[in-house]
Structure 1
Amino acid sequence: MNDIKDTKSFKARLGLFLTYLIMFFFTVMAIYPLIWLGINSFKTTTEFQLNKLGFPKDWVTVNYTDAWVRGKFPHLILNSVIYTGITTVVTLVFSFMAGFAFAKIPHKATKFLHGSYVIGLLLTLQSIMVPLFLIINWTGLYNTRLGVLIPYIGIAMPIGIYLGTDYIKSIPDALVESARLDGATYMKIFSAIIVPMAMPVAVTVAILTVTGTWNEFMLINILTSSDALKSLPVGVQKFAGALSSDFGKQFASLVIGLFPMLLFYLFFRKEITKGVAAGAVKG
């Protein structure tokens, strides 16, 4: 019996060791490129070409100041914050209101309407870019913030409605029915019961919307021509053109572009972990 217990204990320890070893390997693989990028952002182009892996002899901080000014990053970051904030808030409100209606308010048109929204998950951005541009141009919204925000919200809502509807379906119908018997309106039920209980999956939708909107590059280029309306990824892309040979400024611009997302994950890592786990279980 002791031999069997010792064997099981050894296998358990070996399995745990291998698990941590694999996790450590993938952690290094994920972190090393960021460290390499950060180190090389302080090199001149000549030093980078001569030494791509080592530390710089002289830490050139002017790469960041030049990239910050040439890329017009203050204005682009503000635009990204506006687009991301408005898109996320509107997507959450509309998606969960629609999800509540689809899950808890019976109607003949529910299946059709729900299906018409969710089918948006099957559409790729490449397949709708041309008709979307034509519609935005025809409505006179080209080169306006509204012309950017409407497609962003429309693209984000299908996944929000899909996750929100499935999650709200798991909330007991008895809660809604008892609230209705007490005279509560659907709006009151939504704000007082549904929203607090659906908060975990709302975090999941918010994460997907924030990351998707913040990193979006193709639509903002198609729907706007003015630099005043561009977002952060466009500023980073500028350094891949005329300044493509200046590696120090290229890397500095990439670090500037990555930094807001790194801060987002750093400050909200607990909420992100809880939200993704809840969304995975309920979705």
Structure 2
Amino acid sequence: MVRPCPSFSLWLFSSSWDLSTTAISDSLEKSMNTRTFGKTLALNLGRVIFTLVLLIYLIPILWMYSSSMRSNGEIVLDPLGFPTKIDFSNYSIAWEAANMGRHFLISFTITSKSMVIVVVLSTLAAYAFSRLDFSGRKVLYVFFLIGLILPVQSFLIGLFIMFRTMGLLNSLWSVILPVSAIGLPLSILLSKNYFDSLPSSLEESAFLEGAGTFQVYRLIILPLSVPIIATVITFTVIGVWNEFMIPFVMIQNSSLRPLTTSLYVFSTKYSANYALKLAALTMIATPMFIVYFAFQSQVQKGITAGAIKT
């Protein structure tokens, strides 16, 4: 019987191992290249989609600002053109024709009071849901969150009848109270998620020192909650400032109308004058852009903080 040479067997095994290793390496390299290509393709596709969505939102806004500085004749003849010269006269004419100074003050009053109500109540409720242990906490929390799925139209008639009975129609409170209630569910949800991410060690130390629950909320929780408070302020201000349906139904007195409903009346009166309407829209929209960009970084922190448990 002829036995194989040990060196030949070793060489054959070594060659087979090298071939197998090379094949596996090539397969892994191809797989990694395929995955890298797939990730790169998905990333580039996401960028393209994001850019298209951004343009869909951005182009009308830029057109509004651009056309607000053109004459009405230029807009009619060339709707998509650029202004041949910058003219701010449309702003002054629209400001005076729509009595926007008074309506700005009314909108500011409604927005500021609603903001205070939402910030105070949402942070208190969120702190209770996050830190306090009481009977029915989960049920009550879900009850608050139901407000996120209820459209305004579902309870607007009931509100109108209730406010008419209470004598609140044609008053600013007939707008402030409903818009504050509408803003509470989302604000409570965001605030609770943020409070859940805060460490409880500081509170425990304060309780050991004899601090009460409200003292802990006021002296420890609130100073640590600047990002979420800024987020709640931003969402509330933008939502209340742009609210149309509730003030349109609740306020029939022209001297008490906020900007949104006064703009509707102004647009009806000057339906053919696009330059004045665009100038009025620009003046109404600009404060909200300023608010958002002023709080942008805090809003990002407030929204993402709840996803990280400390």
Moved more, 122-131 or 53-62: 53-62
Contact 1:239 1:249 in 2 (8 A): no
Identity over aligned residues, as a percent?
31
Q: Distance in 1 between matches of 2:242 and 2:268?
A: 19
Which is worse superposed, 97-106 or 159-168? 159-168
TM-score normalised by L of structure 2: 0.79
- Runs of 5+ in structure 2 lacking a partner? 1-24
- For 2:218, the equivalent position in structure 1 comes to 191
Aligned to 2:257: 230
Equivalent residue, structure 2, for 1:269:
296
Q: Which runs of 5+ in 1 are unaligned?
A: none
* Aligned position for 2:287: 260
C-alpha displacement of 1:217: 0.6
Q: Give 2:99's match in structure 1, choosing from 52, 69, 72.
A: 72
- Residue among 61, 66, 69 paired with 1:42: 69
Letter of the aligned partner of 1:224 in structure 2?
A: I
Cα-Cα RMSD = 2.8
Once residues 238 and 15 of structure 1 are traced to their aligned partners in structure 2, the CA distance between those partners, rounded to angstroms, is 47
Paired with 2:307 and 2:168, the residues of 1 have a C-alpha distance of 37
Match of 1:250 in 2: 277
Question: 1:106 offset after TM fit, Å?
Answer: 1.4
The alpha-carbon deviation at position 69 of structure 1 amounts to 0.8
Total equivalences in the alignment:
282
Counterpart in the other structure of 2:228: 201
The one-letter code matched in structure 1 to 2:298 is E
Mapping of 1:1-283 within 5 angstroms? 11=37, 22-57=49-84, 59-278=86-305
Residue identity in the other structure for 1:158: P
CA distance in 2, matches of 1:166, 1:17: 32
**SS of aligned partner of 1:241:** helix
User: Which stretch shows the higher mean deviation, 207-216 or 138-147?
Assistant: 138-147
Give me the whole-angstrom Cα distance separating, in 1, the residues matched to 2:151 and 2:47.
37
Larger radius of gyration: 2
C-alpha deviation, 1:19, in angstroms:
5.6
What are the superposed Cα offsets for residues 114-157 of structure 1, whole Å, 9 maximum, x if unpaired? Answer: 23322222211010110011111111111112222111211111
User: 1:37-56: per-residue Cα shift (whole Å, max 9, x none)?
Assistant: 22222333332221112223
Of the structure 1 ranges 17-26 and 238-247, higher mean CA displacement relative to structure 2 is found in 17-26
- Hey, what's the Cα distance between the residues in 2 that align with 1:102 and 1:56? 54
